[in-house]
A and B are shown apart, each in its own frame.
Chain A
Amino acid sequence: MTPEEILQGLYDETLKGNGPRVLELTHQALALDMTPGSLLFDALIPALEEVGARFERGDYFVPEMLIAGRAMAGSMEILRPLLADTGVETIGKFVMGTVKGDVHDIGKNLVNIMLEGAGFEVIDLGVQVAPEKFVAAIEEHEPDIVGFSAFLTTTMPMFKANLNALEKAGLRDKVIVMVGGAPVTQEYADVVGADGYAADASATVKRAKALLKERRSKVPA
């Protein structure tokens, strides 16, 4: 197979969620000395973006999205250490978690995959993350951004509780706060006082990069 055919194959098989085939193609590509960055940016990320677009249009539902995400995550397992070796720089550190009382995590996991693909180091705290756990993780990892994910109308108020906890711990100005999840809107994000909101995984990457740039241009390195 030519490199072009491999990239096309990776794209198509990720779209279909064919995990084993995506792994095979990843190995073949590396054997041909193709760079991990090219697999990521020319095949895997565009494929997951297309998955998001199909979901948006109603052509894909949750399971199709999940198997595509899993296929990409499998390839990422192999690419992650190589990306670090080939000097692709980490562009920022992102601590992510689903808020206390909530166990929905599919959306959060997809966001994590895309953030990693874009070069973020992601520390996933999992589900049902209490405010004090977010605080402890921020103290420990000193991330650039923390993300709160919520899916139920009844757990969205935890955003405010988390923000209050950060405030109390004196961390609010040290970290950018992003919020998201199906019930969340830009207006809601503004009301609770978050720095950023995004409606889906690729928008999260764009917004996170923009917020980082803004922050770094303000704070002298």
Chain B
Amino acid sequence: MAVVACGAIAQPMAQSVARHGWSVDVHPLPPLLHNQPHRIASEVERLAGSLAERYDRVVVGYADCGTYGALDEVCERLGLERLPGLHCYDLYAGADRMEELLDAEPGTYLLTDFLVRSFARTVEQELGLDRWPELRDEYFRHYTRVVWLAQSTDELELRELRTLAQAAAERIGLPLEVLHTGSVGLDAALGALVDG
């Protein structure tokens, strides 16, 4: 089986596959597609098409991810299953928990382990903060906190990520909160796709 995976969750997915000993290959698409969500559905369709010849089954390792239904149309047309939910945040923290977080403070900016590690590239550079630091307030004026959904359970890695998350939050001028989610949610969702 092959998973067409968002680059932002490809690595945790591959780790989940290894942990469970599933016979699954993870094929990532660039994570930065998230900033051009109108391209996600067609890119998924292209990669899934080319993998279909080599695999018995292809599934989609994306949530809705800001495609606002376009990905679901592709999945339906090609008979593919995808991960549930609106974003990977839903997978990590659970959709209900996410709703609570955003209800409590609509100005919550979320980080995952992936975003913490790649913050300079995926957030600062993409938003142009490296070239125009003055845009920071334009983007984050109405935000009140950063919540890092921490997936790692490895003490050493957590310590390293925590330093990076703290630095990221400081660069956008917001306080950091940490929510340890682990990766049970992602494991379960992927497991459901594997079981078909």
Contacts and interface: CB of A to CB of B under 8 A. Distances in A.
A124 to B, nearest CB: 13
Contacts, number: 50
A183 interface: yes
Nearest to B86: A153
Interface stretch (B114-122, B135-143, B162-170, B188-196): B135-143
B68 A153 contact: yes
A101 interface: yes
Nearest to A128: B106
Interface stretch (A59-67, A87-95, A202-210): A59-67
The size class of the interface chain A forms with chain B is 20 to 34
Q: Is the interface of B mostly helix, strand, loop or mixed?
A: loop
Contacts of B68: 153, 182-183, 185
A58 interface: yes
A106 interface: yes
Interface string A93-120: 0000000111101100000000000000
Given A66-B128, A153-B86, A101 B135 contact: no
The size class of the interface chain B forms with chain A is 20 to 34
A154 interface: yes
A110 B73 CA distance: 30
Interface string B121-162: 000001111011001001100110000000000000000000
Q: Is the interface of A mostly helix, strand, loop or mixed?
A: loop
Interface of A: 58, 61-64, 66-67, 70, 100-103, 105-106, 126-128, 153-154, 182-183, 185
Q: Which 3 interchain pairs have the tightest Cβ spacing?
A: A63-B128, A103-B142, A183-B68
Interface of B: 35-36, 64, 66, 68, 86, 99, 102-103, 106-107, 126-129, 131-132, 135, 138-139, 142-143
30 contacts: A61-B128, A62-B35, A62-B126, A62-B127, A63-B127, A63-B129, A63-B131, A63-B132, A63-B135, A66-B128, A66-B132, A66-B135, A66-B138, A67-B128, A67-B135, A100-B106, A101-B102, A101-B103, A103-B106, A103-B107, A103-B142, A105-B142, A106-B139, A127-B142, A128-B106, A182-B66, A182-B68, A183-B66, A183-B68, A185-B68
